[in-house]
């Protein structure tokens, strides 16, 4: 892409975020814990609340030179007394026509840079459908390590999907 603007999403991005998120849920339903049917009912207010950044959560977006959103990924810190040193990465999606152009890697590097500035945060976790080789290759190239596999982690239309559990030490 000619010019890529990576930044934390805010309220004004809610509509574009929701459109891209719903496209992802429709295009790759097996890759997400949620469903298009569920999230297509979300009000704009719900989406705004979901993406509103706090000290413990944010959604990153990758915008092209025209301000169109082509990639998203979220980080949410754990809240348990003994788990606040960890955060979960989820909801990664790159629009189909922009895949293979380094947007996912750029988003992940930026997410890691922001995560490193969060006081007390030590590691990032994510899960990825075990047969999603492009995503696994991306996460491995950045330094995520697989620490386990959850069999039948997701079930969609009667079909089960295993997930690789991965971790990155900040």
Query: What are the residues whose beta carbons fall under 8 Å from the beta carbon of 98, sequence distance 6 or more?
Result: 1, 70, 71
pLDDT tens column, 108-160: 999 999 999 999 999 999 999 999 999 999 999 999 999 999 999 999 999 99
Backbone angles phi, psi at 126, to 5 degrees: -155, 165
The reported pTM is: 0.94
Model confidence at 75, pLDDT cuts 50, 70, 90, reads very high
- Tokens 């990924």 belong to 73
pLDDT tens column, 84-116: 999 999 999 999 999 999 999 999 999 999 999
Please list the alpha-helical segments (H only) found in 57-149.
Answer: 103-116, 133-142
pLDDT of residue 63: 97
Strand arrangement, sheet containing 5-8: 5-8, 57-63, 69-77, 86-94, 123-129, 159-169, 145-156
Does the structure show a pLDDT above 90 at 26?
A: yes
Three-state DSSP class for residue 159? strand
Cα(102)–Cα(106) distance, integer angstroms? 6
86-94 and 123-129 strand pairing: parallel
Angle, CA 144 vertex, CA 139 and CA 145 arms, to 5°: 120
Does the structure show a pLDDT above 80 at 66?
A: yes
Does the structure show a pLDDT above 60 at 1?
A: no
């Amino acid at each position: 892409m000619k010019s890529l603007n990576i930044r934390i999403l805010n309220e004004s991005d809610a509509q574009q975020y929701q459109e891209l998120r719903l496209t992802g849920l429709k295009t790759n339903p097996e890759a997400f814990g949620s469903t298009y049917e569920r999230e297509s009912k979300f009000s704009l207010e719900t989406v705004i609340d979901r993406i509103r950044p706090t000290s413990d959560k944010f959604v990153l977006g990758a915008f092209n030179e025209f301000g169109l959103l082509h990639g998203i990924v979220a980080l949410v810190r754990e809240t348990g007394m003994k788990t606040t040193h960890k955060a979960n990465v989820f909801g990664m999606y790159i629009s189909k026509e922009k895949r293979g152009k380094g947007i996912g890697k750029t988003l992940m590097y930026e997410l890691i840079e922001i995560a490193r500035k969060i006081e007390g945060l030590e590691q990032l976790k994510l899960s990825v459908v075990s047969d999603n080789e492009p995503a696994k290759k991306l996460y491995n190239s950045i330094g995520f390590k697989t620490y386990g596999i959850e069999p039948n982690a997701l079930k969609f239309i009667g079909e089960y999907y295993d997930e690789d559990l991965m971790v990155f030490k900040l």
